[in-house]
Chains A and B, each alone.
Chain A
Amino acid sequence: MPKEVEGEYEVFPDNPHKTYGLMAVVKGKSPVVDKSPEDTVMTWPHLLIRELVASVVVMAVLLAISLVLNAPLEEHANLTETPNPAKAPWYFLGLQELVHYSALIGGVIIPGLSLFLLAALPYLDRTPDRAPSKRKLLTVVFTVFIIVNVVLIVIGSYFRGPGWSFIVPWRGGSVQ
C-alpha cells in the first residue's frame, strides 16, 4: 500500500451510477469458491426473451384449445338425483378410485401420508448425489408413485361405468 499522501486525489472517478467498485485484482480462475469459471449470460435479453417466447406459445395454445373445446356444464344441481356414475374432476379420480375401496384408508390416510412424505422428502433423503442413478431406490419409489397416480386416474376416467363398475371403454362401455 502506498503511503498516504497529503491532499486528495481520485483513484477512480466518482460515478453516481456505480454501486460497486474495484477492490483488488487477484490471480485465479474465479472468485467463486468451488465453481468452474463463470459461464453466464445477461438475463436481459437471453432469459427474458426465452420466457416471452414460452409465454406466447402457452397463451396461443390455451386460446386455441378454448376456441375449440367448451368447458362442461351439466344440468342444474339436484340433491334428489345422483348422476350415475358421479365422477369427481379428473385430477381427483385417482382419489375417488381409492375411496371406492375405503373412505378412511383411501380418502384420508393414503393421500395424507403421501402428501406428508412428499413434503418431508428432502429431509428423508440422505443420499449425497443428485443423479437419479446414485439414488436408485428413491427414484424407483417416486416413479412408482407417479405411475400409480396416472394409472388410478386413467382407471377412474375410462374404466369406471355406472355404479363404479369396471367397464372396458372400447367394448361399448359408455365413457363420459
Chain B
Amino acid sequence: MMNKHKIPATALIFLLSFFSRPVPGRTDDRDIYDLDLKQLLQVKVETLNKRPQHFFELPAATTVIDRQEIERSGAQTIPDLLVRVPGVFVKQISSRETVVAIRNDIQMFNTNLLVLIDGNPYYNQTTANVLWSMLPIAVEDIERIEIIRGDGGTTWGTNSSSGVINIITRTPDSEPVARAGVGGGLHAPFRLHAVTSTGFLRLSAHGERDQGWSDDPSTYSNGYISGRYDTNLADWNLNLSGRVFGNLASDVTGGYTGIVDDEKNHGFDSSISLNRTFGEDKFSAKGFIHNYTADFAIAEAPGIQQKLGDVEMRYSHLFAPGHRTQFGVNYRHYLSKIPPQRFLEQRHEKITDSLINLTIDHESRLTDTTTVNLGLRYERFTIVQDNNGLFSSSFRLSHHLNKNTLAWGSYNRSYQFPSYLMTDISGLAAVKDNTYIYQTGNPALNPEKNDSWEIGLRSLLGEGVFLDASTFYGRIRDEIVIDPTELRITQMGPTTRIDQLYTNHIKSTIWGAEMSLGIDVGKALHSDLGLTWFHRHSREQDSIYRGNINDQYAPDYKITLNSRYTFSDALDLSLFFLYEPSHDNNVTTKYSSPRRTDGHFRADGNINYHFSPQGTLSVGFKNLFNSGVEWDVPSIIATPVDVEPSVFFNLRYHW
C-alpha cells in the first residue's frame, strides 16, 4: 500500500506565514552577562524540569520532568508525575494501576502512545497498553521523563501518533556511593530501594508491596534488579543495561469474568548501545531485547508470553553549519505466545511479526531565527495483511520572534498499527441477560491514518514568568475501534454470544489546546498553572449512516497547579492541585451505555527535610479531596473502586 504525501496547502500557508512575521527587536534582552559572579550565584535558573534550553528550541509540545522535580514532588509512581502535565490524562483504576493517555480518549488498550525507557520501546504488541505498575523502573532510578504531546513524527518510531513518553534512567555516579530508601504509609505502598554505584556501574534493587484500597481486596508486590554500565571503548561510548523483574497481584477480580485469581508477570530485558562521533557526524547503534510472561486474572490458563528484539542504527551528518540530516534504520521482531484461555480466544497460539522502519530527518537553519525540519519514514509491519509499506511525513518549523520567544508549527502524517488484541484475540467484555459480548479481533484491519496540525509558542514573558502554549487539530481516518454496527451473533442454547468486531469504519477529529504558565513569586516559590482543553468527535465513514458513533472518553478540560516552595536549604514543600470535570468513559453501544465519571479534585503534597547532606526525610500525601471512581470500564474492572487519600513517608540516605 503506497501512499501519496501531500501537505495541505492551508497547512503550508499557515506555517509559512511565520516567515512573513516581522521579528521584533531584542528589547527585553536584559544583559545578564553584565552581572558579576556574586549576583549570578543568586540568579534562579530555569532548569531542565521547566524549560531546558534544548527543549525550548523543539518545534513540538514538550514537557520534561527532571530529577529535582521528581524528588521534590514526593511522587511514588510515574503516573503521579505524568498527571501534572497539561494534555496528559491520568486515571487511577486501583491503588496500583493507572491508565494514561495523551491528547486522546482514555483507553486501556491504547495503540497510539509510545512509552520508552532510554529510547527502548515498552509498547506491548499483544494488548497495546502499558501496565504502569509492572514497568520495571521506580522513580528513584529515573533521571528525567520527556513527554512529547502530539504526533511523534518520523523521529520517534511506530505507534506514537498521540504522544511519546521517554523515561531516561540515572547514570552511574562517578564517585562510589550507596543509596538506600524506605517508605510506607496509610493506603500507600511499603517501598524499599537500594543502589550501589561506582565508576561506570550502577546497580539498583527495588521492591514494594501495596495493600490496596479499602474497596479493593487485592494486594500487590513488585520487584526488580537493574544494572547499567557506561564506558568508553577507544572512540566509542558503550552503554549496557539490564533488568530482571517480577510482579504478583493477589486476589484480583477480572472484568466481567468475575474470576478471582492471582496476576503474575516476570521477565527480563537488556540493551546495548554504542555511540561515536566522526568529526561533525554522529553514529549510534543499539540493540534491545525484552521478554516477559504474564498471567492475567481474566485467564484461567497461564502464560501469555511476549518477546521483542529491536535493533536500531542512526547516522547524523552535518552537511554545512546549521544543516544536518539523520538517517535511521530500525528492525523489530515480535514473538507472542497466547495459550487457550476460558474467556480469551485467539486465532494463533504463536504469532510472529516484524517491523522495519527507515527514516530520514533533515534540519536546516534557514536564518538566524528560523529552522525547518523535514522527515520521511517508510515502515512495513507484517501485522497488517496488506503490508507493502507505508510512508509517513513530518514538517516542522520554528521561528524566534525574539530572543525569549519561540513560535513553532508542525504537520505530521503517521500510521497506527493494531495490536494482537485487535487482530487475533477475542475477549469477553460484558455479560448482560444471558448475553455474552465479546470484543473480537479482525485480521483484515488496516492501519489507521493520522494527520495532525499543531502550533505553539514558548516565551519568557518577563522575570520569572514563562509561557508554553500549543493548540492542535487532528484527523484520524480508518480508526481502529470496536464497531457497534459490525456484530456477529451466535445462539448457544439459552445464551447468546455477540462478537463486536474491531473495524476501520470510524473517522474522528480531535482538537484542543494546552497551556502552562510558570511563575516565580519571590525567590522561594515557583508555581506552574496548567490548562488543558480537549475535544473529540467521531463518525462512521463511508457509510449512509452519519450519526455519531461514540462519544469522547476524556474530560473536556483539566486544570492543574503545581507549586514548589523552598523554606531553606534544609526544607522544601511541593503542592499539586488538579480539577477535571465529569465525563463518560465507556463505549456507547446497543449493549453498553456510557459510564459517567464525576468531576473531581485531587491534591498531592510533599515536604522534604534534608536533615543532613546525606539524608532526607519526606512526608507526603496523595489524592486529598479525591474520593470517587476515576475510571469505570466493565470489561477491564469488575468493580470500580473509590480512590482513597494516602499519607506516606520516605527516608533516603546515601553514603
Are A and B bound to each other?
no
